[in-house]
Structure 1
Amino acid sequence: MKMRSHGKSVVVWILLAMLILGLGGFGLRNFSGSAKSVGAVGDTQITVDDYARALRQEMQQRSQQLGQPVTMAQMRSSGVDQQVLGKLIGQAAIGESARRLGVSVGDKELQQQIYKVQAFQNASGEFDRETYKFALRQQGYTEPQFEAQLRDDLSRSIIQGAVAGGVDAPKPVVDAYTKYVSEKRGFTWAEVSESDLSKAIPDPTDDQLQSYYNDHIDQFTAPQTRDITYAWLTPDMLADKVKIDDATLKAEYERRADEFKQPEKRLVERLVYSDMDAAKAAKAKLDGGATFADLAKDRGLTLADADLGDVTRDDLGKAADPVFSAENNAVVGPVETDLGPALFKVNGIIDAQETSFAEARDELAGDAEAEKARNEIGKMSEDLQDRLAGGATLEEMAKETDMELGQIAYTADSTDGIAGYDEFRKAADEATTDAYPDLQTLSDGGVFALRLNKIVPPQPKPFADVKDEVAAAWRADQVVQAEEDRAKEIVSAVEGGKSLGETGVLTTKVASIGRGGYSDELPPPVISKVFKTEPGKPAQITANGKVYVFVTDKVIPADMEDADTKLISGQIGTQLSNSLANDLLNFYATAVESEAGLDLDNQTVTAVQSQMQ
């Protein structure tokens, strides 16, 4: 197996996970049994726990990306389990090389690396041993285990640097890619529309429509439908039962006074100096024609570094009066501040804003009533669940509680009403006809329960019911075919010496567009084909149901001195260099595997995966 990424070992990923997941852990338990490893490269083992951690982390990351749990079966079907194992084999190969060469790091370097990890620090930003121990316990590590793996990881990084460090892609290769990517085209195009046709499209016969219907039956087939009965209760349904009196709303208004009563503010930039003489010298330079950006640059800063955003008087301390007295775009100072003498530039004036209770009442009431309704539903939930568990039908729930009954012919495209909730769609997709209704929550604090009555498989819609749809689809196809035939005539005419405009179509000229460039008027396939067509040659293409003809007028070579092109060249160089470095590591790891030997215990691999179903 090839190693897909040597740059970050399992240990580094665990450190990152601690930071990202707030030490929440993966719910991982140690795996028991006689097998301690899933494989080895030489004498370097890939432990069962390492493999389990790597799998669990990959599942966690993919679940977060997709917004829903990822199962081990899904990991296997997409080959991700093999990718995870391949990474660990590659890391083991580099580790085996480090072991054979005697490469390692000392205790001092190991300690420094551990001290740098934010997850091991206290609120003061200092390493805390108790925090360290707790973090390791959360991840299923003992201190010796973790430190041994971290030492191995650092050793591997030394080997990786020796093998692939400083690899640069050859300049001719980078330039060739850059020229290709940055090359542009100028072209003239026209859309061939129905008005460009010499003959009108005739009306179809019934036989033609029937034949079209039969040949394109997929277009006229109803999707699988799930016949579902449901009962639900949302905060909106309780609106009449959770009215809030004005006294409560006024109290809430006062509690949120900072939200409804905004003081005046200023958009301000600030530069602080070491002493008053330096600040005065900067002000003199400003009076002499320099800009605030120039002053920032003199300090090795940008305006972004000097930007304070929108500030109130309280935010500015001693500088409040002069800054708030200044006009827009004025520079104030030098002013003594807690940080030292400073210059302030006023970039905007934001007047005080106050929303009265009357103006805020509807918002306050909506928020308070929705919250109260959610709380009421929360209080009801236990009783509702008990009723369902006791055998109450959805129809009975609607009669005896505040829940409302509904019916839906649910398909994958359903989005109206309750089908607008992700939670309902997920439950509807997973429901079976033999399952009992169970109370589930909605994103707005509501609840629902459903019953799948039956599943209606996909089936063709009767021809008589969709005849108009069939006629519209038939005509659209006929129009496109006729437009394509007309496009062929236009291309032939241009090849015969006419210009595109002389063929009678309305043309548009594009002076310059980049490879993969965006156009408001043309779909991407047209731009792509322009770059595949020789200059001076006409071509046609059908995209998104429309027919286009064009002539590529010119090729505009990349300007290698242009700032944007240089930026692209740098990015390409970095990507190619990284790719070459990774290839070198792959070759090196493969060589180590061949020399040291790769041993995999597929039975243990399967056993680890089975505990993650």
Structure 2
Amino acid sequence: MLRGIHKASSTWLGKAVMGVIMGFLILSFAIWGIGDIFRGFGANSVAKIGGTDISIEQFRQFYTDKLQQLGQQLRRPITPDQARGLGLDQRFLGQMLAESALDEEARSLRLGLSDKSIAERVMTDPNFKGLNGQFDRGRFEQIIRNAGFSEQRYVAEQRNVLLRRQIAQSVSGELPVPQSMLDAVNRYQNERRSIEYVVLGAAQAGNIPQPSDEELTKYFDARKVQFRAPEYRKVTLVSLTPAELAKPDAISDADAKAVYDQRKDSFGVAEKREVRQIVFPKAEDAAAAEEKIKKGATFDDIVKERGLNPADTNLGLVTKRDIIDAAVADAAFALPSGQVSAPIKGTFGTVLVSVGKIEPGSQKTFEEVAPQIKQQLAEQRVRNEINDLRDKIEDERAGGATLAETAKKLNLKATEIEAVDRSGRAMDGTPVAAIPRSPDVIGAVFGSDIGVDSEALQLPDGGYLYYDVAAITRSRERTLDEVKDQVTARWRAEELAKRLQTTADDMLGKVKGGMPLAQLASENGLQVETVFGLQRGKAAGGLPASVSDAAFKIAKDAFGVADSDAGDRRYVFRVTEVSVPPIDPQAASPDQLKANLQSSYADDVIGQYLARLEADLGVKINQQAVNQVVGGQTNQ
């Protein structure tokens, strides 16, 4: 629509017509107003809790910031449709209401924090410290700017966060965790079970004949929806990425050689050495130790003599860069294997160094890495051109050109995909490799339509992906002849599953009646197998997780039946052993378990507190204003 207005107003006549139209729109708003859209609610409010109004602009900014943060974590943008599908709009609005409720409570309790307290919190935040371990103002400004905050807004938000935390901590406190709860959770997480079992497969199902035409037709007619042809879409893709637009042949050997010389160490594998060191506070002590080594003492003798732990003297198998002290590094990498150095005046004292195993490094030549360097340089240079190309594409499409026509005119590569379904597969069932998996291109394509001028998707490498839906093949019912092989295979799979289940149930009845599992197995030509240490929900011993789940639903010495993941096997088993390790009070895991439970209890208590607080304050939500921000349907 915006491109249509842009195109229409490109001439003097179009500008005049659009001016008249806009004039009528402005006049109509002036006469009739827009309050009717909101019907009884503040026109600029999304919600109200107590005396706090949450404006449309506040919610828009909060909602946008949260989506951007989530998109950065997932490394792909989240579309409005995806956000609504996940319920993020209601979740974020609920978060704003909860925060506003706590802010109201803080004001009613007259809680406050001094500017000095806020400043101390910011100054001590490890995220804002530089390489020297001190507060770095430049880093602080960059981080909050990237997060969408001004300094004033960030400080105000931090004050609110700390006050909310005070209230939350006073409500939840240090909630004690009952020992019975610890025992129950420990049992659930750490209980182990052992079973003996037999496996029923295709051999136990007997011969399954081919279905008759009548059987197959009846089976197909009852399940036609399972064999429908999915909807397919023909798509044109044009990507603007540094990798695709780069022209490495345009990079000179001189430019590439300069980069190689500057970063030479990164093009290869650095030499590694096993290095040990003894640091002496006094130089004379190091000299005395050197004399003892010359007279036959070993490096280990000196370590023992000085009462050192051998592990504390071992730097491991390291590169030269891994050694912090430059003097020690130079000496260690000049020393032959098996030798001990002379005393070295290091940064932290006088040092004796011993070198053990040496792993030689390797260095790639310029000729070996020149293509890689030229590609990287070409990509760096082309990044500045991407935005210019994007503007040209937008102008061409605003003029009515298709994406394929635009690509041809601008000498860009257009990829034509004849057919793709919602799972990203072609008509033959194979994945379409030309479609990127990030961002969600398939979701965007199936959310568009023929002739829709869709916005470009942002790619993880900073580029853009344009797409056009050229044609749509609607989903349809297939005939039996089209899918006869698939129908036959599924019929046989279900028939196999039925027979195996009947046989397994029959065997289960016999062992429950008193027949030993070994005897039953022998009569049926099966072998009894055993597996130990099963855990809930985990596959073990070559068994699927479904067997573990079934084993934890029955008592010790009881029998059960479990299915395989594919349905082509059945397991008849007996639980032979149940063990629950006691909680070790000295181990770290109980403390972690207790902390997790305390956190869960605190979340529940705070949740109930917020619910009561919101009920007391009163909450009103303007869903039409919410939809205005998130792009949902509005009720007229």
TM range (shorter): 0.7 to 0.9
Larger mean CA deviation between 145-154 and 527-536 belongs to 145-154
| CA shift for structure 1 position 532 | 0.8
Q: In structure 2, what is the equivalent of residue 58 of structure 1?
A: 66
Q: In structure 2, what is the equivalent of residue 559 of structure 1?
A: 581
List per-residue Cα deviations over 1:572-607 (Å, max 9, x = no partner).
21122112223333444455556xx3133423x753
- The 1:584–1:422 alpha-carbon spacing in structure 2 relative to 1, beyond 3 Å, is closer
Give the alignment of 1:72-83 within 5 angstroms. 75=83, 78-83=86-91
Contact 2:537–2:546, Cα closer than 8 Å, also in 1: no
Match of 2:166 among 150, 158, 169: 158
Match of 1:411 among 416, 421, 428: 421
Give the distance between the partners of 1:135 and 1:445, measured in 2 at CA: 21
- The 1:442–1:74 alpha-carbon spacing in structure 2 relative to 1, beyond 3 Å, is closer
Q: In structure 2, what is the equivalent of residue 543 of structure 1?
A: 564
Counterpart of 2:185, as a letter, is Y
Give the distance between the partners of 1:523 and 1:140, measured in 2 at CA: 50
Q: In structure 2, what is the equivalent of residue 600 of structure 1?
A: 619
List per-residue Cα deviations over 1:12-31 (Å, max 9, x = no partner).
xxxxxxxxxxxxxxxxxxxx
Contact 2:238–2:403, Cα closer than 8 Å, also in 1: yes
Q: In structure 1, what is the equivalent of residue 22 of structure 2?
A: none
Q: How many residue pairs end up in the alignment?
A: 565
Q: In structure 2, what is the equivalent of residue 22 of structure 1?
A: none
List per-residue Cα deviations over 1:379-421 (Å, max 9, x = no partner).
8777676665555566766877564673511212234353346
- The 1:278–1:164 alpha-carbon spacing in structure 2 relative to 1, beyond 3 Å, is farther
Give the alignment of 1:287-306 within 5 angstroms. 287=304, 292=309, 295=312
The SS at the match of 1:463 is: coil
Larger mean CA deviation between 263-272 and 281-290 belongs to 281-290
Query: Quick check: 1:525 aligned with 2:546?
Result: yes
Give the distance between the partners of 1:566 and 1:488, measured in 2 at CA: 44
Query: Quick check: 1:205 aligned with 2:227?
Result: no
Give the distance between the partners of 1:126 and 1:437, measured in 2 at CA: 45
Contact 2:247–2:378, Cα closer than 8 Å, also in 1: no
Give the distance between the partners of 2:456 and 2:150, measured in 1 at CA: 39
- The 1:34–1:285 alpha-carbon spacing in structure 2 relative to 1, beyond 3 Å, is farther
| CA shift for structure 1 position 151 | 4.3
The SS at the match of 2:562 is: strand
Match of 2:531 among 490, 510, 518: 510
Give the distance between the partners of 2:339 and 2:208, measured in 1 at CA: 70
- The 1:151–1:585 alpha-carbon spacing in structure 2 relative to 1, beyond 3 Å, is same
Give the distance between the partners of 1:589 and 1:88, measured in 2 at CA: 12
| CA shift for structure 1 position 239 | 10
Contact 2:276–2:354, Cα closer than 8 Å, also in 1: yes
The SS at the match of 2:618 is: strand
Contact 1:538–1:549, Cα closer than 8 Å, also in 2: no
Match of 1:219 among 215, 226, 229: 226
Contact 1:230–1:448, Cα closer than 8 Å, also in 2: yes
Q: In structure 2, what is the equivalent of residue 24 of structure 1?
A: none
| CA shift for structure 1 position 531 | 0.9
- The 1:490–1:452 alpha-carbon spacing in structure 2 relative to 1, beyond 3 Å, is same
Give the alignment of 1:331-370 within 5 angstroms. 335-342=344-351, 349-360=358-369, 363=372
Contact 2:46–2:625, Cα closer than 8 Å, also in 1: no
Give the distance between the partners of 2:552 and 2:569, measured in 1 at CA: 18
TM-score normalised according to structure 2 size:
0.71
TM-score normalised according to structure 1 size:
0.74
Contact 1:120–1:135, Cα closer than 8 Å, also in 2: no
Contact 1:229–1:453, Cα closer than 8 Å, also in 2: yes
Q: Structure 1 unaligned segments of length 5 or more: list them.
A: 1-32, 297-302
Match of 2:487 among 446, 470, 486: 470
- The 1:207–1:245 alpha-carbon spacing in structure 2 relative to 1, beyond 3 Å, is farther
Give the alignment of 1:84-103 within 5 angstroms. 84-103=92-111
Counterpart of 1:338, as a letter, is T
Q: In structure 1, what is the equivalent of residue 12 of structure 2?
A: none
Q: In structure 1, what is the equivalent of residue 183 of structure 2?
A: 175
Contact 2:451–2:470, Cα closer than 8 Å, also in 1: no
The SS at the match of 1:546 is: coil
Give the distance between the partners of 1:497 and 1:588, measured in 2 at CA: 58
Q: In structure 2, what is the equivalent of residue 498 of structure 1?
A: 516
- The 1:272–1:248 alpha-carbon spacing in structure 2 relative to 1, beyond 3 Å, is same
Query: Quick check: 1:324 aligned with 2:324?
Result: no
| CA shift for structure 1 position 80 | 3.6
Match of 2:498 among 460, 471, 481: 481
